[in-house]
Chain A
């Protein structure tokens, strides 16, 4: 997707956003339980979490489409908690296709401009530029039903950008698309967001999307923020067992605590945070599959239970003596000899691991 765009659509300093102690309950269910989050100008922050963790509720409260029971939303330092949705100067791309069916793509993009009193000629010019920006110049006169899902979401993105919002809100905009289009569009969205410098809050339950698109990932669970950090940090240094388990795959292997180390299958590994248990206590070490190394060995301690080819990587699952299954992600070339039933030696990469009781 390439386009020559009007200078007015180039990067502008984004607006800082602050969520302070947002709470929201539905009857007995607590959707948000005191959410605090600061988003820097021009930053893209993903709200990542399982269904029902409160991420969409948070986004809708920021958009003004729902109200919080307590807490506040600040944009540019101003409290906008009581400001109605239509006066917040934000734009949202929805999960479901939200183009107005009675309008063409161009008219959809120009909708917000029309509400702002922009002249018809200027509207048409701007809508054309934005459709060019999302690679749909030829679709100006097409209705939503005449476009694919990916094209509709691109138009929805152009419509959102047309009003030059202070904050762009993305509510799982890629989840209804097929895998190939999803990957393509997520790269396009990220590229545009960086180019235009719009502060963006992105809701997703897809880890890959969150990790690949975001400046920071805010992992949520049961209405609370578990960790908000760079994708790399969230993955390699999860702050809580929930983050460790939710982001990426994780093995849970029994070990013996030993101060700042843990002994796992005879190997001593450093721990990210020493557990509050005496030395010699039984603990569980959380180890990523890519940190588990296997080599075929006639007198190996573990037996390969199954393997699953995933292109460049093959996931090999081995069974320990106590019946625990451990996953290992190996380069496919290294996994050729690890067929089900094969005995193997198991080692762990010398990286700090998280330990839970």
Chain B
């Protein structure tokens, strides 16, 4: 009788142990991260639901839309978000596409410029824009339009990066040349060839920009504009529960936007078998 010894059994067991430990560590990190994010949110939701005499009800949430200035500032914030998205896309989609097509050597330089808002303090940006438009028309300087222009600058880093990644994932030059060759003008190429193939990237950039606008406080406050975050801070000085409910509402809207981004992104990728 000959004994068969499995020489690979011990290493396999060691590998299984290592994988087991790795999996536990991964779950531990995930749980800690989840608690780090969820506990403050849960606490805020709980706080916003507090009623009189240690009871919980929805009164703060149901009364939120009746609070003076809430709806006006919510509308202003939504308008700002829409305006920022439109201006950013109108500026950045053709620009980024052009850089990819005709000035590829400048991509790194443009990217460096576009990420500057991340390192420039908000107060500097706010004062810079104010100085630039000191003698500008009143429909810009005295209105939320100037705030939208500020937000366009703030949105540049992630808009550029998102569009840049999308453009890098498609054979842009060939598609554009094919479109031109078939008789399309530059505008037609942009609208019927570039934009449809950047759908996911454009959606991502739009939602990230909108989410940023809906939560931005510093610059709006510096420019003395009334937006939902500014209203929330002011409301918080009188009624913490209302302010917390408003904050949660902003968070909820942002979540919904991100969820939409994910759903549309997956659907687009499934349809054409690619992302971009």
Q: Which of B181, B182, B184, B192 contacts A65 (CB 8 A)?
A: B181
Q: Which of B174, B183, B196 contacts A112 (CB 8 A)?
A: B183
The residue on B at minimum CB distance from A96 is: B174
Q: Which of B183, B199, B273, B274 contacts A115 (CB 8 A)?
A: B183
Give the distance in Å from the alpha carbon of A310 to the alpha carbon of B115 in the complex.
59
Instruction: Flag A88-131 by CB within 8 Å of B: 1 or 0 each.
Output: 01111010111011110000000110011000000000000000
With a cutoff of 8 Å between Cβ atoms, the chain A residues found around residue B12 in the complex are none
Give the distance in Å from the alpha carbon of A63 to the alpha carbon of B196 in the complex.
25
Asked if B193 is an interface residue, CB under 8 A from chain A, the answer is: yes
Give the distance in Å from the alpha carbon of A41 to the alpha carbon of B133 in the complex.
61
Q: How far is the CB of A174 from chain B (nearest CB, A)?
A: 16
Asked if A273 is an interface residue, CB under 8 A from chain B, the answer is: no
Asked if B171 is an interface residue, CB under 8 A from chain A, the answer is: yes
The residue on B at minimum CB distance from A169 is: B181
Q: A65-B180, A102-B196, A169-B181 are in contact. List 13 more A-B contacts (CB 8 A).
A: A65-B177, A85-B177, A85-B181, A86-B185, A90-B181, A97-B171, A98-B171, A98-B175, A100-B175, A112-B182, A143-B273, A144-B272, A144-B273
Q: How far is the CB of B194 from chain A (nearest CB, A)?
A: 10
Interface of B is mostly: helix
Give the distance in Å from the alpha carbon of A97 to the alpha carbon of B178 in the complex.
10
Interface residues of A in 197-227 (CB under 8 A from B): none
Asked if B271 is an interface residue, CB under 8 A from chain A, the answer is: yes
Asked if B49 is an interface residue, CB under 8 A from chain A, the answer is: no
With a cutoff of 8 Å between Cβ atoms, the chain B residues found around residue A24 in the complex are none
Interface residues of B in 175-213 (CB under 8 A from A): 175, 177-185, 188, 192-193, 196-197, 199
Q: Which of B170, B174, B180, B272 contacts A86 (CB 8 A)?
A: B180
The residue on A at minimum CB distance from B272 is: A101
A-B contact pairs, 8 of them (CB 8 A): A65-B181, A84-B180, A86-B185, A94-B178, A98-B174, A100-B196, A101-B276, A111-B179
Interface of A is mostly: mixed
Give the distance in Å from the alpha carbon of A137 to the alpha carbon of B107 in the complex.
42
With a cutoff of 8 Å between Cβ atoms, the chain B residues found around residue A102 in the complex are 196-197, 199, 272
Q: Contact between B182 and A96 (Cβ–Cβ < 8 Å)?
A: no
Q: Contact between B271 and A143 (Cβ–Cβ < 8 Å)?
A: yes
Q: A102-B272, A115-B188, A145-B272 are contacts. A96–B181 as well, Cβ < 8 Å?
A: no
Instruction: Flag B147-176 by CB within 8 Å of A: 1 or 0 each.
Output: 000000000000000000000001100110
Q: A94-B174, A96-B171 are contacts. A101–B274 as well, Cβ < 8 Å?
A: yes
Give the distance in Å from the alpha carbon of A145 to the alpha carbon of B180 in the complex.
22
Q: Contact between A146 and B193 (Cβ–Cβ < 8 Å)?
A: no
Q: Which of B171, B180, B199, B272 contacts A143 (CB 8 A)?
A: B272
The winner among B182, B183, B188 for most chain A CB atoms within 10 A is B182
Give the distance in Å from the alpha carbon of A116 to the alpha carbon of B181 in the complex.
13
Asked if A163 is an interface residue, CB under 8 A from chain B, the answer is: yes
Asked if A303 is an interface residue, CB under 8 A from chain B, the answer is: no
With a cutoff of 8 Å between Cβ atoms, the chain A residues found around residue B183 in the complex are 86-87, 89, 112, 115-116, 163
With a cutoff of 8 Å between Cβ atoms, the chain B residues found around residue A64 in the complex are 180
Q: How far is the CB of B268 from chain A (nearest CB, A)?
A: 9
With a cutoff of 8 Å between Cβ atoms, the chain A residues found around residue B184 in the complex are 86, 115
* A-B contacts at CB below 8 angstroms, number: 78
Asked if A159 is an interface residue, CB under 8 A from chain B, the answer is: yes
Instruction: Flag B30-41 by CB within 8 Å of A: 1 or 0 each.
Output: 000000000000
With a cutoff of 8 Å between Cβ atoms, the chain B residues found around residue A101 in the complex are 170, 197, 272-274, 276
With a cutoff of 8 Å between Cβ atoms, the chain B residues found around residue A115 in the complex are 182-184, 188
Q: Contact between A100 and B181 (Cβ–Cβ < 8 Å)?
A: no
Give the distance in Å from the alpha carbon of A11 to the alpha carbon of B188 in the complex.
31
Interface residues of A in 266-324 (CB under 8 A from B): none
Give the distance in Å from the alpha carbon of A89 to the alpha carbon of B276 in the complex.
31
Q: Which of B174, B188, B199, B273 contacts A145 (CB 8 A)?
A: B273
List the 5 closest A-B pairs by CB distance, nearest first.
Answer: A145-B273, A112-B182, A102-B196, A98-B178, A85-B180
Give the distance in Å from the alpha carbon of A87 to the alpha carbon of B182 in the complex.
9
The residue on A at minimum CB distance from B170 is: A101
The winner among A86, A97, A103, A156 for most chain B CB atoms within 10 A is A86
The residue on B at minimum CB distance from A85 is: B180
Q: How far is the CB of A69 from chain B (nearest CB, A)?
A: 18
Give the distance in Å from the alpha carbon of A65 to the alpha carbon of B182 in the complex.
12
Give the distance in Å from the alpha carbon of A330 to the alpha carbon of B199 in the complex.
59
Q: Which of B175, B182, B188, B276 contacts A91 (CB 8 A)?
A: B182
Q: Contact between A92 and B177 (Cβ–Cβ < 8 Å)?
A: yes
Give the distance in Å from the alpha carbon of A143 to the alpha carbon of B269 in the complex.
12
With a cutoff of 8 Å between Cβ atoms, the chain A residues found around residue B170 in the complex are 101
Q: Which of B182, B185, B196 contacts A163 (CB 8 A)?
A: B182
With a cutoff of 8 Å between Cβ atoms, the chain A residues found around residue B276 in the complex are 101
Q: How far is the CB of B167 from chain A (nearest CB, A)?
A: 13
With a cutoff of 8 Å between Cβ atoms, the chain B residues found around residue A146 in the complex are 273
Give the distance in Å from the alpha carbon of A87 to the alpha carbon of B193 in the complex.
18
With a cutoff of 8 Å between Cβ atoms, the chain A residues found around residue B192 in the complex are 111
Interface residues of B in 216-272 (CB under 8 A from A): 271-272
Instruction: Flag A160-173 by CB within 8 Å of B: 1 or 0 each.
Output: 10010000010000
Q: How far is the CB of A240 from chain B (nearest CB, A)?
A: 33
With a cutoff of 8 Å between Cβ atoms, the chain B residues found around residue A90 in the complex are 181
Interface residues of A in 140-165 (CB under 8 A from B): 143-146, 156, 159-160, 163
Q: A96-B174, A101-B197 are contacts. A86–B274 as well, Cβ < 8 Å?
A: no
Q: How far is the CB of B203 from chain A (nearest CB, A)?
A: 13
With a cutoff of 8 Å between Cβ atoms, the chain A residues found around residue B179 in the complex are 100, 111
Give the distance in Å from the alpha carbon of A84 to the alpha carbon of B180 in the complex.
9
With a cutoff of 8 Å between Cβ atoms, the chain B residues found around residue A94 in the complex are 174, 177-178
Q: Contact between B178 and A100 (Cβ–Cβ < 8 Å)?
A: yes
